[in-house]
Amino acid sequence: MSMWRVKREVICLILLGLFFSLPLDAAENGNSIEAGKKIFTYGVNDRIPACQKCHGSDGMGLGAVDIATPRTAAQTYTYLLKQLTDFATGRRTDDVMHQMNRIAKGLSAQQRRDVAAFLHSLKWPYEGSDLARLGRDGVNVGNPGRGRIIVNFGVRARSIAACKVCHGYDGHGAGRLYPVLSGQNYLYLTHELKSFRRAALRKKEYGRANDFMAQMRDVAAKLSDQDILDAAAFLTGAKPPPMPENPKGTGVE
């Protein structure tokens, strides 16, 4: 066998290995939804706290005025896994409770896959944040009607792309990398949008910059405070994605 043949075969094997090691879907070889559920419900020993303490027993997140955590239930598997990996490697920083980085780093790669698979499999009731209540609690609540236009059509005069282009109609999510935004917590949405904008405008304070090719930062850079409030007000109350994007369905139209 010539050296070149051997090399070629080795290269083929490496490429094949790479292909199979890509995070394809939640039912990826060896993933265990059961193991993920255990991590979510009980944590790991006394090192990793139960995720449900902060993300709610149903993965719906906390919508409290002072602390907002994201809904992770029924989110795209690949997106969830990417976030856990980004927290573990420090590409993204939890600047709300300052816990996610340590937590994600403490999980093995397989544990991160298991818990992402579990979260992806959860039903998402899509209640959305209670904007009237948040308003009564003194939160500045945007205008959902204007937000709907930003999400589905953009703002042409200021070259703001419609969120729909990447996140799907009404923020239903698209493909594996573009997260579902509909039904996400209002306060979490506004927090992340401001964070991407800070990174885009190179502010001194921490800003989120883990988006592929600065796709999200480029959009956030152009958003005004009012645009952010309006888009988030619409998205939190937007209807759920239809099957099959929402893997377990909702039973609610």
Where on the chain is the footprint of ligand HEC (CB under 6 A)? Answer: 39, 48-49, 51, 53-55, 69-70, 72, 80, 82-84, 94, 96-97, 99-100, 103, 115, 150, 161, 163, 165-167, 177-179, 181, 189, 191-193, 210-212, 215-216, 219, 231
CB-nearer residue toward ligand HEC: 13 or 42: 42
- Cα separation, 252 vs 235, in Å, equals 17
Nearer to ligand HEC, 106 or 249 (CB): 106
Report, in Å, the least distance between residue 3 CB and ligand HEC: 41
Nearer to ligand HEC, 21 or 108 (CB): 108
Q: Give the nearest distance from C-beta 16 to ligand HEC in angstroms.
A: 26
Q: How far is the CB of 86 from ligand HEC (least distance, A)?
A: 6
Nearest to 151 by CA among 129, 174, 134: 174
CB 169 within 8 A of CB 159: no
- Quote the least distance from Cβ 240 to ligand HEC, whole Å: 15
- What is the smallest separation between the CB atom of 160 and ligand HEC, expressed in angstroms? 6
Q: Six-digit token pair at 178?
A: 């573009």
Angle CA 119–124–126, to nearest 5: 145
Establish whether the linkage from the previous residue to 242 is cis, with ω within 30° of 0. no
Given a contact cutoff of 8 angstroms between Cβ atoms, the answer to whether 219 and 130 are in contact is no
Residue closer to ligand HEC by CB (options 49, 249) is 49
Please give the Cα distance from 121 to 40 (Å, whole number). 13
